[in-house]
Chains A and B, each alone.
Chain A
Amino acid sequence: MKFENVIIGNSSAAIGCVEAIREIDSYADILMVSADRQAYSKALIPYYLRGKIKLEGLIYRKEEFFERLNVETKFGIRVEKIDTNKKEIVLENGEIVGYKKLLIATGGKPFIPKIEGLNARDFFTFQTLEDVLRIKEAVEKAESAVILGAGIIGLMLAEALVERGLEVKVVELADRVLAPVLDKKTSEIVQRKFAEKGVEILLNNTILEVRRNEKKILKLRDGREIETDLLAIAVGVVPNAELAKNAGIKVNRGIVVNKRMETSVKDVYAAGDCVEIFDSIAKTSRPIPLWITAYMGGRIAGFNMSGIPRDLSFVTAMNSMHFFDYYIITAGLSNSEDGEVISRLEGENYRRFVLRDGKIVGFIIAGKVGRAGIFTRLMEEELEVSGFKDKLLNDNFGYVDIPEAIRWNLLKEKVKFGVVRDAWI
């Protein structure tokens, strides 16, 4: 069996890749192999736990998607290894599939810190459908929960559990929540939101040891011991890059890719949470495990796999999050102190911009977040904003506040990834 395009994985990056290939080429055969039995949106898992959507709501492309796009699928099957010399992949059932172009989109996996006495069945992670189903079952019998890690995933889980009536504690190593993306002011607001709902957040702390009787007893770094029915670990996601590593593909923290999403081996591409990618703002390569990065990476890989060279021109960390209906959007070096920082706090509405050489390199918008995409655009265009920087802090900042000469240039129809238009209309 041989396919022109083989995709390992079936989440965001893989879907982006398929959609891109099919925009260009309706006949190239595509095979999608994944250990997951179904293609669903992992980002929706907190919403499912909260009951905001039903189980079928997790499926974000219609069921006939793969059929309609003529994609062969082998779901529920793990890929054992990749032979880049023979251009083959070996599946766990022994099947061998040849490829012309390969995309590795194996995603990420939860990072589990070393804790004394911790067994695999002691704790939950919160990343996959299996995880959430397990948690849902356990929640029925549980009264209390402890979550290690006050990142987006950990806090979303805390929100879901407290809504279900559990007594929730969050343990965080840093001195505030969401420390990698938020600044102190926003962290404080978020902490207050959680405190109001009765969630206890234990900062500057971590779990040292786990013991069990009826409940789990957690020994914390500050010497305290807390009891809990349910323990969840959400300290972060690390790239799932073993498959690539074993195949001799260059891996640092994640699979190393260039702007075209090519790995160190010819005809092998990678995208999504499994890669490390050059952050256009932070100017360094690192894993950016976010939905839109994965989708765009997959999409760009799809174009390149189909013979249309394209670069992923702008990548940076971008988060949209909300806790108890308090919305926060951040991008780039959102909490950096290095540069000119302008901010305005009014009630719970907060705006903070980090400027370097007159250009936006990061922002936090919280509360009224409408139209935050304009700032991502200004970042991407590397536009000099010092002339109107005071206006950035207005709640209703818009294109009208940008000097006319630049404004029309920004609003001009422009397809940044212009090759699409030129190449195939």
Chain B
Amino acid sequence: MVISHTFTSVKFIFIPFRHKGMRIVVKPEVCMGCQICEIWCLVAHSMSKDILNAFLLEKPRPKSRIVVERNSSEYLILQCRNCEEPKCMFACISGALYRENGILKYNEEKCVSCLSCVMACPYGAVKFEDGKIVRCDLCNLDPVCVKVCPNKALEVVS
């Protein structure tokens, strides 16, 4: 809950879904495309939390939340930006995408895989793999990808 004053009036503001502005940003000038973030993101979202199990044994195979774009010469890492006005959430017909304590969350049970969020996300940060929506959950505000990046190319900003 955020309580503050407006500049224009004396009304109090109570904003239950407002986010704290936290998001992960990438500094492209220092990202060397090592994909370590992608590997540990996958592990963090596995059942076992163990790198070998996650890659070799677990079924269904855990999925990385990070979008890594590559072409012949370049890498680009894109995460969910936890947008101030999340179009994915606005487009969601089932309430599976919602915001809690400032973070956009996803409730798989409610999701019907209609892909309205895929259609709406301007960054293409909502992935669709094996019939399921996959998206960044900001690891409860302590993102693994940021911790493991050897070049500090990923950063949490708020």
State whether the Cβ of A377 lies closer than 8 Å to any Cβ in chain B: yes
Q: Is the CB of B118 within 8 A of A369?
A: yes
Q: Is the CB of A26 within 8 A of B14?
A: yes
B8–chain A nearest beta-carbon distance, Å = 7
Cβ of A319: which chain B residues have Cβ within 8 Å of it? 119
Binding stretch for chain A, among B44-52, B84-92, B143-151? B84-92
- A-contact 0/1 string along B13-43, CB 8 Å cutoff: 1111110000000001000000000000000
Q: Is the CB of A53 within 8 A of B76?
A: no
Tell me, in angstroms, the Cα distance from A200 to B28 when the chains sit together.
53
Contact of B120 among A43, A68, A376 (CB under 8 A): A376
Cβ of B127: which chain A residues have Cβ within 8 Å of it? 370-371
Q: Is the CB of B11 within 8 A of A27?
A: yes
Q: Is the CB of A60 within 8 A of B93?
A: yes
A388–chain B nearest beta-carbon distance, Å = 11
Q: Is the CB of B119 within 8 A of A398?
A: no
Q: Is the CB of B112 within 8 A of A329?
A: no
Tell me, in angstroms, the Cα distance from A39 to B12 when the chains sit together.
28
Interface residues of B in 102-130 (CB under 8 A from A): 110, 112-124, 126-128
Q: Is the CB of B67 within 8 A of A398?
A: yes
Binding stretch for chain B, among A79-87, A190-198, A288-296? A288-296
B115–chain A nearest beta-carbon distance, Å = 5
Max chain B CB contacts within 10 Å: which of A61, A291, A325?
A291
The binding surface of chain B is classed by DSSP as: loop
A357–chain B nearest beta-carbon distance, Å = 22
- B-contact 0/1 string along A305-332, CB 8 Å cutoff: 0000000000000111010010101010
Tell me, in angstroms, the Cα distance from A369 to B120 when the chains sit together.
12
State whether the Cβ of A92 lies closer than 8 Å to any Cβ in chain B: no
- A-contact 0/1 string along B67-80, CB 8 Å cutoff: 10111001110100
Tell me, in angstroms, the Cα distance from A420 to B21 when the chains sit together.
13
Q: How many A-B contacts if CB must be within 8 Å?
A: 152
- B-contact 0/1 string along A387-404, CB 8 Å cutoff: 000000000101111000
Contact of A26 among B7, B12, B28 (CB under 8 A): B12
State whether the Cβ of B94 lies closer than 8 Å to any Cβ in chain A: yes
Contact of A398 among B81, B85, B124 (CB under 8 A): B124
Cβ of B110: which chain A residues have Cβ within 8 Å of it? 53, 57, 60
Q: Is the CB of B119 within 8 A of A318?
A: yes
Q: Is the CB of B11 within 8 A of A292?
A: no
Tell me, in angstroms, the Cα distance from A162 to B111 when the chains sit together.
22
- B-contact 0/1 string along A233-274, CB 8 Å cutoff: 000000000000000000000000000000000000000000
Interface size on A, residues (CB 8 A): 59
B69–chain A nearest beta-carbon distance, Å = 4
Tell me, in angstroms, the Cα distance from A417 to B8 when the chains sit together.
18
State whether the Cβ of B53 lies closer than 8 Å to any Cβ in chain A: no
Q: Is the CB of A423 within 8 A of B8?
A: yes
Interface size on B, residues (CB 8 A): 49
Q: Which residue of chain A has the shortest Cβ distance to B3 in the bound complex?
A: A26
Q: Is the CB of A41 within 8 A of B93?
A: yes
Q: Which residue of chain A has the shortest Cβ distance to B113 in the bound complex?
A: A322
Q: Which residue of chain B has the shortest Cβ distance to A57 in the bound complex?
A: B110
State whether the Cβ of A16 lies closer than 8 Å to any Cβ in chain B: yes
Tell me, in angstroms, the Cα distance from A57 to B95 when the chains sit together.
9
Q: Which residue of chain B has the shortest Cβ distance to A421 in the bound complex?
A: B84
Cβ of B91: which chain A residues have Cβ within 8 Å of it? 291-292, 295
Q: Is the CB of B115 within 8 A of A424?
A: no
Tell me, in angstroms, the Cα distance from A151 to B87 when the chains sit together.
25
Q: Is the CB of A369 within 8 A of B13?
A: no
State whether the Cβ of A374 lies closer than 8 Å to any Cβ in chain B: yes
State whether the Cβ of B140 lies closer than 8 Å to any Cβ in chain A: no
Tell me, in angstroms, the Cα distance from A299 to B113 when the chains sit together.
24
Given contacts A396-B69, A399-B69, A417-B85, contact A41 B122 (CB under 8 A): no
Binding stretch for chain B, among A17-25, A99-107, A177-185, A222-230? A17-25
A27–chain B nearest beta-carbon distance, Å = 6
Cβ of B81: which chain A residues have Cβ within 8 Å of it? 413
Contact of A372 among B17, B76, B87, B118 (CB under 8 A): B118
B21–chain A nearest beta-carbon distance, Å = 9
State whether the Cβ of A425 lies closer than 8 Å to any Cβ in chain B: yes
Tell me, in angstroms, the Cα distance from A383 to B75 when the chains sit together.
22
Tell me, in angstroms, the Cα distance from A272 to B118 when the chains sit together.
21
Q: Is the CB of A376 within 8 A of B119?
A: yes
Cβ of A408: which chain B residues have Cβ within 8 Å of it? 28
Q: A43-B93, A398-B67, A400-B71 are in contact. List 8 more A-B contacts (CB 8 A).
A: A19-B17, A25-B11, A369-B115, A371-B67, A373-B122, A401-B69, A424-B4, A424-B8
Query: What are some 18 contacts across the A-B interface (CB < 8 A)?
Result: A26-B15, A57-B94, A59-B95, A291-B91, A318-B119, A322-B113, A322-B115, A331-B119, A373-B120, A398-B78, A400-B69, A401-B71, A408-B28, A421-B84, A423-B7, A424-B6, A424-B7, A425-B4
Give the 9 A-B residue pairs with the shortest CB-CB distance, closest first: A371-B124, A60-B95, A26-B14, A398-B69, A377-B122, A43-B93, A373-B121, A400-B69, A320-B119
A interface vs B, CB < 8 Å? 16, 19, 22-27, 41, 43-44, 47, 52-53, 57, 59-62, 68-69, 291-292, 295-296, 299, 318-320, 322, 325, 327, 329, 331, 369-374, 376-377, 380, 396, 398-401, 408, 411, 413, 415-417, 420-421, 423-425
